[in-house]
Chain A
C-alpha cells in the first residue's frame, strides 16, 4: 500500500497568525484555542490573589522556569534601600516575596540590579524574543509585541490559570495592519505617532484585533521606539500590537543575558526570520498613515484618544459630530479645567513626569537630557525623572545624564511605575496639572483630582523648561557659556 502523503496546503498568513498557530496546545469545536504561554511576568499588584488560589486548590506553579517576578507598581522611588514606609504597600510587596519563595519563582526585588518595570526588564534581560507568547497581569504587556511576540495583558484569574497550567484559553482575534508610510520628521517621536493614531481611531478602534504596525516609518524606529508604539496598543483597545522582527530586533537581543547562544542563536534567528507576514497574506482591516505629516502631539482630555497637535488648540465639543463624543468632550474639559479654543502652548503645568513603560528607557532619558543640558526647569514647575529599571538608572548615571537632570533642577529617582499610575507616593495633588510621558490621562490616574496631558519625551523636557506645553523648537538656544 502506498504511504499516505501528508500534503501541506499553503495558506498565506500574518505574523500574528503564525505565532498563534505555533502555540495551539488544543483546538476543539465550540471552544477557545488553548494557547501555550512562553513567558509569564509577575508583579506585586495583580498576583497575590492568584497565588492564594493555587494554595487553596493545592496546586503548584507548573513552570517556574518560564516565570519571572519583579516589584514595580507600588514601590517608592526614593529611599528604595529602606523598608517601604506605607504599611499596605509593604504588605503587598512582602506577599510577593513570600509567594516567589514558596513557589520557586525568580524575583528581582527592590534594590536588585535587575529590578524595574516588568515591561522594561523583560526586553532588557533578553527574555523577550520574537515568536513568543508573553502574558502579564498588566495591560501594557503589549509592549513586548515590538519584538514580534504575541503579548497581552491578563486579569488575576488568568494569572492563576497560567501559573497552574502554563496555558490560556483564548478566542482567535481578528487581524489589522497599521501601515505607516514616510519618515517621522526631526523632533517627532514614536510617542507622537501613536498618539496621532489613537486620536484617529478612538479608544475602542482596535477592539478585537491583534494589530501589526508596519511600513517604512515603523522599520526605521529603534527597538525602544517600537516598544513605545506597541505599549500603547491597549489605549486604542487592541488585544495586542506586533512588529515583524528584523535585523534591528536581532541586534538588540544578541548578547543579552537570556538571549540564545551559539547554535541555538542561529536556529532561533532562522526561525524568527520566517515569522514575517507573507507577502500575499490579508488582514481583516487596514489603516494607513503618513508619518511625514506628523508633528508633536499632546492630549487635552481624559482619554488617550482626546489629543491634538501641540500647535493646535483645545477643541470645541460643539464641533464634534458624534453625540457620545460631544458629551465625553464636555465632561473632559470640565475635569481638565480647560476652555475650548485655548492654544495648547498656553497651557501651563505644575509637574512634568518623564518615565513609565511607555517612555522610561535609556533612549528616552538621553532625549530628555539633550533638551535639558544647560537649561533649568521653570520656577513653580517640578520635573520628576524616573528610570524604568535599575539598569536604566545605572546606565544613565554612567553617561552622566543624572548630573544633567539634577543641574537643571529635576528630581532624579529610583526605578518603578511611579507617577504613571500614582500608586506609590509620586502623585499629583488635586487640581495639579502634569505633562507626562506615560500612557493614560484618565481622571485621577496620577493622583486624585490630577489633570494629565500625555506628551512625548522632548515635549516633556521642553515643557519643564518653559512651564507651558512646548517643544524643544520653542526654547531659546543654550548660550555656549564658558568659552565666551
Chain B
C-alpha cells in the first residue's frame, strides 16, 4: 500500500447526511472482478443531475470529499472505497463514519478523517463560497486545514492510532499478521473438536 503522510487537493462539499454505500456505488456497478474501473459508478444516480457537485467545475477535479454525518452506512462493499479512490479522492472528511466503511478505507488507503460537526459546516460554507479552495489532510499531525484569513478552517481529526500508523508506513496488514503465524498455529492446536468444518 502507498504511504500517506499528507494530501492537499480541491475540497468537494457534499451537503448530505446518511450517504449510504448504495449511493456511493449502486449494486449494478459491482460486477467487475478488479479493483479498478469503479469511478463511473461513483454517486451514479446523483451524477445524472447536472447540478450535482461533481458535475460542476472546479469541484469535478476534487480529491477531498467533505460530507455530513453517517457517511458510508449500509453494505460492506469495499467497492465504495475503490470508487472514491478510482475517481481521484484521497480523503473523506465527515463527523461520523459507518464502521465497515471506515475499516475498508483504512485497509485500502483512503483516509477517513472524523471531525466535529461544526468543522464540516465551516468547510461546506468555505468550499461553496470559494469553489476550488484546497483542503489539506495531514495525517502526521492529524489536522485538516483549508482557506486563509478569517474564514480559514484548521482543526484536528480523529483516526485510530493503529490505522494511522499503518497508513503512514504504507504497511500490508496481511504481512503483519503472518509474522505472528506461531501464535495462530498455537491457537489452532487448542481449538475444541466440536467446532464445525466445511470439508470432510
B16 within 8 A of A: yes
Q: How far is the CA of A2 from the CA of B192 in the complex (A)?
A: 32
Q: How far is the CA of A377 from the CA of B30 in the complex (A)?
A: 33
Write out the residue numbers on chain A whose beta carbons fall within 8 Å of the beta carbon of B79: 156
Write out the residue numbers on chain B whose beta carbons fall within 8 Å of the beta carbon of A74: 30-31
Q: Is the CB of A204 within 8 A of B198?
A: no
Write out the residue numbers on chain B whose beta carbons fall within 8 Å of the beta carbon of A158: 103-104, 107
Q: Is the CB of B100 within 8 A of A154?
A: yes
Q: Report A3-40 CB contacts with B as 1/0, cut-off 8 Å.
A: 00000000000000000000001100011101010110
B161 within 8 A of A: yes
Write out the residue numbers on chain B whose beta carbons fall within 8 Å of the beta carbon of A92: 31, 33
Q: Is the CB of B73 within 8 A of A167?
A: no
Q: Is the CB of B76 within 8 A of A137?
A: yes
Write out the residue numbers on chain B whose beta carbons fall within 8 Å of the beta carbon of A422: 27-28
Q: How far is the CB of A162 from chain B (nearest CB, A)?
A: 10
Q: How far is the CA of A88 from the CA of B31 in the complex (A)?
A: 6
Q: Is the CB of A421 within 8 A of B27?
A: yes
Q: How far is the CB of A40 from chain B (nearest CB, A)?
A: 9
Q: Is the CB of A207 within 8 A of B160?
A: no
Residue of B nearest to A427 (CB): B28
Chain B contacts with A in 172-200, Cβ cutoff 8 A: 173-174, 176-178, 180, 183-184, 187-188, 191-199
| Number of A residues, CB within 8 Å of B | 84
Q: Which of B35, B69, B173, B188 contacts A161 (CB 8 A)?
A: B173
Binds A, one of B17-25, B56-64, B135-143, B149-157: B17-25
Q: Is the CB of A448 within 8 A of B26?
A: yes
Q: How far is the CB of B30 from chain A (nearest CB, A)?
A: 5
Q: How far is the CA of A160 from the CA of B108 in the complex (A)?
A: 12
Q: How far is the CB of A36 from chain B (nearest CB, A)?
A: 5
B131 within 8 A of A: no
- The answer to whether residues A237 and B73 also contact, given A49-B33, A89-B31, A258-B196 and a CB cut-off of 8 A, is yes
Q: Is the CB of A207 within 8 A of B99?
A: yes
Q: In terms of DSSP, what is the predominant structure of the interface of chain B?
A: loop
B123 within 8 A of A: no
| Number of B residues, CB within 8 Å of A | 58
Q: Which of A154, A169, A204, A208 contacts B69 (CB 8 A)?
A: A204
Q: Which of A171, A207, A442, A448 contacts B98 (CB 8 A)?
A: A207
A453 within 8 A of B: no
Chain A contacts with B in 188-213, Cβ cutoff 8 A: 203-204, 207-208
Residue of B nearest to A105 (CB): B198
Q: Is the CB of B16 within 8 A of A49?
A: no
Q: Is the CB of A155 within 8 A of B23?
A: no
B11 within 8 A of A: no
Write out the residue numbers on chain A whose beta carbons fall within 8 Å of the beta carbon of B90: none
Binds B, one of A259-267, A397-405, A468-476: A259-267
- The answer to whether residues A155 and B31 also contact, given A166-B184, A203-B70 and a CB cut-off of 8 A, is no
Q: Is the CB of A49 within 8 A of B34?
A: yes
Write out the residue numbers on chain B whose beta carbons fall within 8 Å of the beta carbon of A331: 16
Q: Is the CB of A48 within 8 A of B33?
A: yes
Q: How far is the CB of A236 from chain B (nearest CB, A)?
A: 9
Q: How far is the CA of A135 from the CA of B100 in the complex (A)?
A: 12
Chain A contacts with B in 358-400, Cβ cutoff 8 A: none
Q: Is the CB of A303 within 8 A of B18?
A: yes
Q: How far is the CB of B76 from chain A (nearest CB, A)?
A: 4
A271 within 8 A of B: yes
Binds B, one of A65-73, A215-223, A457-465: A65-73
Q: Is the CB of B199 within 8 A of A423?
A: no
Q: Which of B69, B78, B161 contacts A46 (CB 8 A)?
A: B78
A-B contact pairs, 5 of them (CB 8 A): A126-B196, A207-B99, A264-B193, A271-B194, A443-B22
Other A-B pairs beyond A65-B197, A423-B31, 14, CB < 8 Å: A26-B180, A59-B174, A74-B30, A88-B31, A127-B196, A139-B74, A155-B77, A160-B174, A203-B70, A204-B70, A234-B100, A259-B196, A260-B194, A422-B28
